[in-house]
Amino acid sequence: MKLQGVFGPVVSTFHEGSEDLDVASFTRNLQAHVEAGLHGILVCGSTGEAALLTEDERRVLLEAARGVVPRDRVLLMGTGAESTRLTIKRCKDAKAAGADAVLVVAPHYYSSAMNLEALRGHYRAVADESPVPVLLYNIPKYMHFALPAELVAELAKHPNVVGIKDSSGDLNMLKGFLAAQSDTFTVFTGNASTFVPALAAGARGGILAVALFAPTLCLQMYDAHGIGDTAAASEHQATAKPLAGVIVAELGVPGVKTACDVVGLRGGPVRCPLVDLDEAGEQR
């Protein structure tokens, strides 16, 4: 399993009106992402509206993705839940449906109770019981706290914890996680605005929403950095920054879905309580 490169955290597609899964469009999107050259796919991440999906819908999407994503690409599944029990069940379900590894966001509804002891116990239990490798997921925007670097360093020594996705956008925080990187533990950034600086700091790749609608640009950043072409890498980074800053960070999932529509993929509607972009948002 090659944990490096540019991964796409795919959107979950729904039919207009009913909000039922549109599996055919989801599959076509996946085929386009694979053909574009993305190194890996994440199903049921934040961009995939994971929090709004049923357990059965999660399984259906992962099975559909496994039917498209070739075995030489990495297929990740988001399995984070509010209880350790459900998180472990989701990890087992992910294995059964074909995931290569799982991405686990910390429980965060009871955020004030998520101290070092609670987080350590949760992630250790998940790593012990998951039948596939585990990546940690740090996204303070939604968690309302950050995973402590010292906890990440400790968990990185667990034989079944193989990496972390850091979507904070804070390079200093990322560098704290990079101190734990090793042959068996990989750090990804989830922020395309700082993709090249993250790579320069040592990150091995990015799980980037921008890669869904601008895959070539993200691959150009990765490849230019890889061959040491700093001028090209910086130029591509400058192009990507407003895409990440406006479409992903500001307009959110509705923005990403609209951007997919614009480039000929199927974004379609979001699921309530999220709200689709208005005309002004679409024009932006």
Phi-psi region of 229 (alpha: psi -120 to 50; beta: other; left: phi over 0): beta
The 8-class DSSP code of residue 276 comes to: -
Strand partners, 273: none
CA distances from residue 283 to 153, 213, 246, 258, 277 in whole angstroms, order as listed: 44, 16, 12, 10, 9
Catalytic residue from among 92, 165, 175, 241: 165
Q: Where are the alpha helices (DSSP H) in 137-273?
A: 140-143, 149-155, 171-178, 195-201, 210-213, 215-226, 230-242, 252-262
Q: Where are the alpha helices (DSSP H) in the chain?
A: 23-36, 55-66, 84-97, 116-129, 140-143, 149-155, 171-178, 195-201, 210-213, 215-226, 230-242, 252-262, 279-283
Token code pair at residue 191 = 């922020």
Q: Does the annotation count 165 as an active-site position?
A: yes
Q: Which residues contact 169 (CB under 8 A, 6 or more apart)?
A: 191, 193, 194, 249
Q: How many whole angstroms separate alpha carbon 238 and alpha carbon 44?
A: 29
Q: Report whether 212 contacts 33 (CB < 8 A).
A: yes
Q: Report whether 256 contacts 13 (CB < 8 A).
A: no
Compute the C-alpha angle 20/25/29, nearest 5°: 135
Active-site positions read 165
